[in-house]
Amino acid sequence: MANVTVLDGGFATQLSVHVGKSIDGDPLWSARFNATDPNAVFKTHLDFLEAGAEAIMTNTYQASIEGYGEYLHLNEDTSLNLIKSTVRVAQMARNHFLAKSAADERRTGIPLLVASIGPYGAHLHDGSEYTGRYAADVCVDTIQKWHRPRIDACLEAGVDVLGIETIPCKMEAEALLDLLCDEYPTVRFWISFQCKDNQHLANGELFSDTVNSLWAKARQRRNKNLLALGVNCVHPQIVTPLFRSVNDKRLPEELRIPLIVYPNSGEVYTVEEGWQGREDCVPLEHYVPQWIELGARFIGGCCRTYARDIKRIKQTVINHANSNHCQ
Binding site as annotated, residues for Zn(2+): 233, 302-303
Q: How distant, in Å, are the alpha carbons of 168, 184, 287, 292 from that of 114?
A: 20, 15, 24, 21
**Which residues are CB-contacts of 48 (< 8 A; sequence separation ≥ 6)?**
8, 9, 14, 56, 307, 310
**Which residues are CB-contacts of 2 (< 8 A; sequence separation ≥ 6)?**
253, 258, 297
Q: Residue ranges for the binding site?
A: 233, 302-303
Alpha helices in the chain (DSSP H): 11-19, 33-36, 38-50, 65-72, 76-100, 140-157, 170-183, 207-220, 239-244, 288-293, 307-326
